[in-house]
Amino acid sequence: MSWEVDAEHPYKYGPGGFCPIKVGDRIANRFLVLHKLGYGGFATVWLARDEKRRHSRYVALKVVSADWYQDAKFQSTEVVDPLRGYERGNGSPGLFILELERVFHTSRNGDHLCQVFPVLGPALASLNTSDFRLYPSFVRTFAQQLAHALDTMHALGVCHGDFTLNNIAIHLADSLDSLTEKQLDQIFGLPQIQTLEFFFPESHHLHPNTSLLCIIDFDHAFCVKNAPKQLSHVPHQYLAPENIFTLTNGPPADVWALGCIFAVLSSRNVSATTE
């Protein structure tokens, strides 16, 4: 069956697959789902409100497919602890975005890990397309920040393992927590529940802080001293030659991916990451 909608394929919602979620659902009897933020190969991401906190807050909820969680190791302590220690010592906004906590939710397709994250701005992948390009001044600023982030990560003994434009996000200048759900709808637009012409509402209420980047999605990260001998999880466009030919992983592979990111950000040809 062909699938041309910008959403995950319905076949992923079978037993062991994605968690069936709709706006208005409550995840783990705690998080009220308000809007869909995105999806990936093994998870969907939702804007939700934490209803158990005295002062409710908005969070990004990453809900992992049932089978994938059973087969994967998510954010092991040997990876998370050095990064979390760095974040505690350097204040906010964070350079490395780690899960705030995790909960579990059971659906008809199985048991799902739900990772709770702060709400961020868009990923760089969505800001550097054939229709919209970053100003050169932003590219230079972003390149400096990314080089610093990768150098810091490697100094802490951690390799990202999936360093792509999809896993680099922009911090928001302001928190969402002061906004009502109606105001959120004005920013995100009402959820689409059937096939429609895509509509991106203007947002005059919230602007990304375009000078501050952060690194996200450490689910494939590993310690330098325990680098796995396997094909990397990054898309083939970002694969380092040594990983392709000898399955070697480590800091040089992250640096290769960084070079690919620099090339895409500074080039009008974005086919390197989209084809």
52 is annotated as contributing to ligand binding: no
The closest alpha carbon to 60, from 92, 89, 34, belongs to 34
CA dist 218 and 163 (Å) reads 9
List the structure tokens of 156. 């802490």
Contact 177, 58 (CB under 8 A): yes
Contact 44, 35 (CB under 8 A): no
Are 96 and 151 spatial neighbours (Cβ–Cβ below 8 Å)? no
> 261: which 2 tokens?
């990111």
What is the C-alpha separation between 224 and 95, in angstroms, rounded?
19
> Quick one: CA torsion of 85, 86, 88, 90, rounded to 10 degrees?
170
Return d(Cα 140, Cα 123) in angstroms, integer.
17
Helix (H) / strand (E) element for 101: namely strand 101-107
Binding residues for ATP: 62
Binding residues: 62
